Structure 1
Amino acid sequence: MDLNEITGRAMRVHGLYDRLNRTERGRTWSREDFVLGFVGDVGDLAKLTQAAEGVRPAPDGGDLAHELADCLWSVTVIAELYGIDLAAAFTATTDHLEQSISSRLRGVTE
């Protein structure tokens, strides 16, 4: 599955959540709500990685793969809600990082 397919699927689930939240709570999540939800997912991810490393007990029902997928879902939805081309941003960011790190490594190894 490529990023466009992931984004399309994430937005379909987003639409389902909107319908559910409108029905159950009378409102949908705002962009800020999604960011706060993402922060919660990252917290869960941190707990699960600590458990995987033996730093803390595993939370009940916690699954690292599931939580990583939750985080990916949140990031793709947030990018769409803010009109960000995530593929282009990722490419630009990793290009910059590769150049920056390579330059620093050249300075260290020369």
Structure 2
Amino acid sequence: MQDRARTVRARYAEVEASAYGRSWTTEEIMLGFLGDVGDLAKLVQGKAGVRPREDLDEALAHELADCLWSVLTLADAYDVDLAGAFTSTMDELDAVLAED
């Protein structure tokens, strides 16, 4: 997934450079992610019956994938080993839960 996200980000950077004279900064990518999270929140409301729509399941899957892409892209930008960080974080959470 990381390689695919990196490839798509590189293609977006080319489009951005052509359209705006530069590619997006990490801050702008983060702002885009925030917008995607807002869209995801509306779709979660839809699943709860508050914001119904015809293509809810497809839209939810799409928005979750958009959010994942943003996380992968930000991790890549900051040289975070996301797989390693995920594993260690889950290990920490498992340890905390084992104490309860």
**TM-score, normalised relative to structure 1:** 0.84
1:70 pairs, out of 66, 75, 78, with: 66
Q: 1:19 maps to what in 2?
A: 14
2:94 aligned with 1:103, yes or no? no
**Distance (Å, rounded) in 1 between the aligned partners of 2:85 and 2:48:** 31
Q: 1:93 maps to what in 2?
A: 89
Alpha-carbon deviation of 1:8?
Answer: 0.3
**Distance (Å, rounded) in 2 between the aligned partners of 1:60 and 1:39:** 22
Q: 1:108 maps to what in 2?
A: none
8 Å Cα contact 1:41-1:70 kept in structure 2:
yes
8 Å Cα contact 1:47-1:59 kept in structure 2:
no
Higher Rg of the two aligned structures = 1
Alpha-carbon deviation of 1:58?
Answer: 3.4
**Distance (Å, rounded) in 2 between the aligned partners of 1:60 and 1:18:** 30
SS in 1 for 2:65: helix
Segments of structure 1 that go 5 or more residues without pairing to the other structure are 1-5, 105-110
Deviations 1:26-71 (A, max 9, x none): 1110011111111111110010010111022439887000000001
SS in 1 for 2:72: helix
Are the structure 2 counterparts of residues 52 and 98 from structure 1 closer, same or farther at C-alpha, using a change threshold of 3 Å?
same
Segments of structure 2 that go 5 or more residues without pairing to the other structure are none
Query: Over aligned residue pairs, what C-alpha RMSD do you find?
Result: 1.7
Counterpart residue type for residue 20 of structure 2: R
2:85 aligned with 1:81, yes or no? no
Counterpart residue type for residue 62 of structure 2: H
2:33 pairs, out of 24, 38, 56, with: 38
Write out the 4+ residue segments of structure 1 that deviate beyond 2 Å after TM superposition. Answer: 56-62
**Distance (Å, rounded) in 1 between the aligned partners of 2:54 and 2:11:** 28
Q: 1:107 maps to what in 2?
A: none
